[in-house]
Amino acid sequence: MPAYIYSILHLSGLVLVFLSLGGAVVRSMSKSDEPAIRKLVGLSHGIGMLLVFIAGFGLIAKTGVGFQAWVFIKIGIWVLLAVLFAMINRKPDLAKTLWYIVLLVAVIAIFLVYRKPFAHYDVAPDVAPTKQAQASE
């Protein structure tokens, strides 16, 4: 399967995860215990987490990135998103605070993807060298 398919699946999973986290926060804050909402939010979170996990490892394999430090941090964030979902459901009084924590976690994850701190570049970087850089070599 091409890497772009894994990217689409990974991003689709992320959309589901963050939709479900938002839905869980709103459900907790409204003190709703509607079974249909709880089921929709729970299924969305579970399916999203599975997609993120499988497609993320598919991307690691396809792109040849390997297990660099930023990848381990992203795996930790994946675990943290599971814990935050459970906390939102079990501690409705913390829902508003957890809303902001989820936002912060998302921003950190985005930063890690685009900046790749702690990365060692034994793989070709995202950007091809310019003609000027090639001429100076």
Question: Residue 130 domain-assigned?
Answer: no
The CA-CA-CA angle for residues 57, 20, 67, to 5°, reads 20
Residue 9 Cα distances to 6, 29, 81, 109, angstroms: 5, 30, 18, 17
pLDDT at 89: 92
pTM above 0.75, yes or no: yes
Give the total number of structural domains in the chain: 1
pLDDT at 65: 85
Task: Estimate to the nearest angstrom the gap between the alpha carbon of 118 and the chain centroid.
Answer: 18
Neighbouring CB atoms inside 10 A of 111's CB total: 12
Q: Which domain holds residue 90?
A: 3-116
Question: Residue 39 domain-assigned?
Answer: yes
Question: Residue 23 domain-assigned?
Answer: yes
Question: Residue 122 domain-assigned?
Answer: no
What is the chain's length? 137
Question: Residue 121 domain-assigned?
Answer: no
Question: Residue 97 domain-assigned?
Answer: yes
Q: Averaged in consecutive runs of 10 residues, what is the pLDDT profile of the chain (137 residues)?
A: 95 96 94 92 97 96 89 94 95 94 95 84 50 53
